[in-house]
Amino acid sequence: MLLLLALSLAGCNLLPDASMQDRTVSDASIWAMDTQMDLRLYGDTDGTVMAELTAILNRLDHSLSATSPDSALTALNESGRTDDADVVYLASAAQTISAQTDGALDITLLPVSRLWGFGTDSYAVPEPAALDALRDRVGMDKLTVSDGAGSVSAGTMLDFGALAKGYAADLCRAKMEEAGIAGILSLGGNIQTVGTKPDGSDWIIGVQDPDDMGRYLLTLRLSGSASAVASGDYQRFFMQDGVRYCHILDPKTLSPVRGSLRSVTVVTDGGLKADGLSTALFVLGREAGIALWQSMGDFEAVWIEGDGTVWITPGLKDCVVEGSYQVIEP
Amino acid sequence: MNNIRRGRVSRPANTADPSRPAPHLSTKVWALILGAAFLLLAGLTAWQYLGAKPAARAEVWVDGVLKQTLDLSADGEYRIESAEGWNLLTVSDGKIAVTAASCPDADCVRCGPQNSGPPIVCLPNRVSIRFTDSGGVDGAVR
C-alpha cells in the first residue's frame, strides 16, 4: 500500500521540461567565485560537457572577480570603462533588476562593503562619517551601459557578488541543454536543475534552516529546469556588541540589512534573475517583497522569518515535500 | 493585508478511494488502516527529506578536491590543512563537527555536530564537508 501511495506522488512542474534519459552519472567539484561548486551530470559519457562547464566557471571566476588584479571587472573598476562581454551583460542585467526592485539591488556598494570589513579579515562597524564619505561613489546612476560598453563614474566600483553565480548557472544550463544533458548544479548553494533525472523522478531541493545549518526547513520537488537561489544573513556576517551584521547591504542606509527576515529563496526560470531577485527581496523585507512578487508575477519565493515562520507563494504549495509553511495569497 | 493559509505537508496524501471498502471490512476499519498508513508515510517522508537520516560517512573537500572520506562510526580528530588555514574536525557519536578553525568568522564551528543535511562549509579556508547519504535531497539551497 505504501508503495502505491508513494507512486501516486504528483510532481511539481513549474517549468517546461525536456526528458533526458542517459543514466551515466558524472560528478565534479571545483572551487570558484570564493565557494565550492558541485556539478552532477547525467549522460555526459565522454566528459566533454563537464569539461566545458568547468571551463565556463573558471573563466567567470577570473573575469568577474573584484579582487583579482587582472580581472575584467578590476579593469573596469580601475579604468572606469570596459567592453568585456560578460561584464557588460551583467552590468546591464543589474540595471534592469535594480529598476524592477526600486533600487534594492545595487552593485556599486563594493567600497562600502569593504569599509564594513567584508572581503577582508577585519570586520568593524564604521563611523557614520566614513559611510557618508562614500555616498558620492555609490548608486546605480553611476553606471552607464551603451553600445556594448560599460562605464562607471570616477571612484565607483562594481561587485557582481549578487549576480555572478546566477549568470554562471545560466551559461552552464545553456551548454547542457545544447548537448542534451540533464543534471543539477550547486554553485555555492545556488541550485540549477537541468532536464529530468534518468529515473524520471523530480529534483528534491532542501532550503537550509538559518538557525540549524544541518537541517532543512523546507524541501521542495521541482520538475525540469529551474533555478533556486537564497540570500540570507547567516552565511557571511559578523557579531559586534550582540548585533548581527550580515554581508547584504541596504543601498539606502549603506548598512547591513537588519529586519525580521533570515533568508529569502527565489525559484524561477533563470539563474541570474533568481540571484538578483533573492538579494533584492532580502533587502526589501517581506511586505515590500510580496508587493514585488505581486507586480512581477514571474517568480516564486520562500521567506524565512527570524522566528522560524516560513512563507511561500502559492505556486510553490504543490511543490512542498516536507515542512511547515504559510501561503501568501494575492 | 494579505490573506494567509496555513499548512503543513508531509506528502503524499493521495490514497486509495476510502468510499469503496472491501465488503468484509467496515468503513471505520478502512479509515483506521488508511490513517495509519498516512501517518507512517508522513513520518518516513519527514525522516527522509528533512535531514534526520544519518549518513555513514562524510567527505572532506579542500579547494574543490576530495581529501578524505571519514567513517562517522569511528570517533577521532582530524586536522585539515588548506592553503588558507586549518580546520579541526571531530567525529563523535556518529556525527562530525568542526571544533576549531583558523577562519575569522567560525561559521563552520557554529554548525555544530552533524550527520546529515546540507554540507558544512568553511568559505575562508575553502573546506567543505559533505555527507555521502544525501537523504534523498538532490541539492541544498543556502
Q: Check if A31 contacts B (Cβ < 8 Å).
A: yes
- pTM, two decimal places: 0.84
Domain count, chain A: 1
Q: Check if A2 contacts B (Cβ < 8 Å).
A: yes
Domain for residue A5, yes or no? Answer: no
The label of the residue with cell 527576515 reads: A261
pLDDT level of residue B37 (50, 70, 90 thresholds): confident
Contact call for B142 and A327, based on CB within 8 A: no
Is a pLDDT exceeding 60 seen at residue B82? yes
Among B6, B12, B141, whose Cβ lies nearest the Cβ of A9? B12
Contact call for B51 and A214, based on CB within 8 A: yes
b/e code A8-39 from CB counts within 10 Å (16+ = b): ebebbebeebeebeeeeebebbbbbbbbbbbb
pLDDT confidence of residue B129: 93
Contact call for B140 and A238, based on CB within 8 A: no
| A–B CB contacts, 8 A cutoff, strictly below | 174
Domain for residue A299, yes or no? Answer: yes
Give the distance from CA A26 to its chain's centroid: 24
- Interfacial A residues in 288-327 facing B (CB < 8 Å): 290, 317, 320-327
CA-based nearest residue to B134, from A23, A3, A38: A38
pLDDT confidence of residue A61: 96
Q: Check if A126 contacts B (Cβ < 8 Å).
A: no
Range of the domain at A209: 17-61+70-330
Shortest distance, CA A264 to any CA of chain B (angstroms) = 10
**What are the residues facing A230 on neighbouring strands?**
A265
Chain A residues with CB inside 8 Å of B37's CB?
1-2, 5
Q: Check if A182 contacts B (Cβ < 8 Å).
A: no
Chain B residues with CB inside 8 Å of A30's CB?
64
Least confident piece of the model among A32-36, A196-200, B13-17, B85-89 = B13-17
Contact call for B9 and A321, based on CB within 8 A: yes
CA-based nearest residue to A226, from A304, A146, A166, A145: A166
pLDDT confidence of residue B110: 87
pLDDT level of residue B41 (50, 70, 90 thresholds): low
Q: Is the peptide bond before B12 cis (omega within 30 degrees of 0)?
A: yes
pLDDT confidence of residue A21: 54
CATH class for the domain made up of B57-131: mainly beta
Contact call for A238 and B105, based on CB within 8 A: yes
pLDDT level of residue B43 (50, 70, 90 thresholds): low
More confident site: B7 or B22: B7
pLDDT level of residue B20 (50, 70, 90 thresholds): low
CA-based nearest residue to B116, from B90, B89, B96: B96
Q: What is the mean pLDDT of each run of 10 residues along chain A (330 residues)?
A: 38 50 82 93 95 97 94 96 97 98 97 92 91 96 96 96 98 97 96 95 94 89 97 88 93 95 97 98 97 96 96 97 92
Distance between CA atoms of residues B117 and B140, nearest Å:
8
pLDDT confidence of residue B48: 53
- Interfacial A residues in 51-70 facing B (CB < 8 Å): none
N- to C-terminal Cα distance for chain A? 38
Q: Domain holding A282: CATH number?
A: 3.10.520.10
pLDDT confidence of residue B16: 44
Domain for residue A4, yes or no? Answer: no
